[in-house]
Amino acid sequence: MKQSLLNRISEHVYWLDPDASTDRPTLGAVVGRQATVIVDAGNSPAHANLLLSELAKLELTKPRYLVLTHWHWDHVFGVSAFDAPIVAHNETRRAMKAMTGLDWSDEALDRRVEEGTEIEFCRDMIKAEWPDRSNLRFKLPDLSFATQLEFDLGGVRCQVKHVGGDHASDSSIVYVPEDCIVFLSDCLYEDLHHGPRNYTTKKLFPLIDEIVSYDADYYVWGHNPEPMPNTEMKEFAQLLRSIGEHVEQTGDNRELILYALQGTSSKDLDDDSLEILDAFLAGLRNKELMET
C-alpha cells in the first residue's frame, strides 16, 4: 500500500487535513465493505481530486455517495469532480441552486463584496484557491432530505442529520455510530455572514446540547487542524454555555461580563474565550437591531 495523506481516525473513518491558506475544509470518508461515503466536496476540483487520488492509493471501496454538510462555497465547489450521487439537506440544495445562477468571476465577486452580499474573506479565498474559474460547474444534490437519513455501508453506518445553528441554518452532521465519530463540519462555528462573527444563545444552546449527547470518541471539525476528543468537546461546550449565559443575564456590557467571568482568577481570559464573548455580544446586537 502506498503512503497516503489521509489520516485514519478509526476502523472505517478517514479524513484529509484542512488547509487554512486557501480555506480548504476537512474532507472525510466513511468506508464500509460495500460502499464509501464522502463527507464534503472540497473548495475546488483540485481539492476534490486530491481527496479522490489519496483514497485511490488506499484501494478502498469506491465512493458511492457524496454528502454535503452545508452550502458554503468551500464545501461544495469541488462537486464536479465526483461521479457519485450527491446527498444534502433540502435547504442546502435550495441554496446551491441559487449559487448556480450567480456569476463567479473576479469582477462579480468584487461587486458583491461592495454591495455587501459577499464577504471579503470568501472572495479572497475563492480567488486564491481557484484563480481561473471559467470551468466552474455546479452539480445539484441528486437526493435531498428534511431531517435525517442513514446509510448502511456494510459493517458500518453513516447517519446524516440536519442540526442547523448560527453558522448556516442548513448545517448537517455525519455520525458514524459503530466508530463513535461525529463529523461536525462547520455547525459550531459562528455566523460569518451578518456583520461581525456572531453567536446566539437561541441557536447555539440547543445545538451544543445535541452535539454532546452523541456517543462519540472524536469530533471532526470543518476547519480545526485536529479532531477533538470527547472530553475536550464537553469542556468546550461548557465554556460556550457559561459565556453565553453571562451575556444572556447581563446584556451588552462587556466590562461587567469580563469581571464576572474572571471571578477570583488573577489570570486574564484567553483569546478563545474573548472571541466567544465578542461573538455572543455581536449576536445580541444583531438581535436588538432586528427588533428595532
Residue of 216, 202, 129, 126 whose CA lies nearest to 164: 202
Closer residue to Zn ion in complex, CB, 179/186: 186
Q: How far is the CB of 138 from Zn ion (least distance, A)?
A: 17
Q: How far is the CB of 185 from Zn ion (least distance, A)?
A: 7
Q: Does the footprint of Zn ion cover residue 170 (CB under 5 A)?
A: no
Closer residue to Zn ion in complex, CB, 188/233: 188
Q: How far is the CB of 291 from Zn ion (least distance, A)?
A: 27
Q: Which of residues 179-208 bind Zn ion (CB under 5 A)?
A: 186
12, 24, 47, 72: residue in contact with Zn ion (rule CB under 5 A): 72
Give how many residues touch Zn ion by CB under 5 A.
2
Place of cell 442529520: 161
Q: Which residues contact 149 (CB under 8 A, 6 or more apart)?
A: 87, 159, 160
Q: How far apart are CA 248 and CA 217, in angstroms?
A: 31
Closer residue to Zn ion in complex, CB, 179/190: 190
Q: How far is the CB of 187 from Zn ion (least distance, A)?
A: 9
* Helical segments of 1-65, H only: 45-57
| Residue 251 neighbours by CB distance under 10 Å | 12
Q: How far is the CB of 72 from Zn ion (least distance, A)?
A: 4
Exposed/middle/buried for residue 183 (C-beta within 10 Å: 0-12, 13-18, 19+): buried
Mask: binding to Zn ion, 32-71, rule CB under 5 A, as x and -? ----------------------------------------
Closer residue to Zn ion in complex, CB, 71/156: 71
Q: How far is the CB of 273 from Zn ion (least distance, A)?
A: 22
Q: Are strands 157-162 and 181-185 parallel, antiparallel or unpaired?
A: unpaired
Q: Which three cell numbers stand for residue 33?
A: 465493505
Closer residue to Zn ion in complex, CB, 16/156: 16
Strand arrangement, sheet containing 218-221: 148-152, 157-162, 172-176, 181-185, 218-221, 228-229
Binding site for Zn ion (CB under 5 A): 72, 186
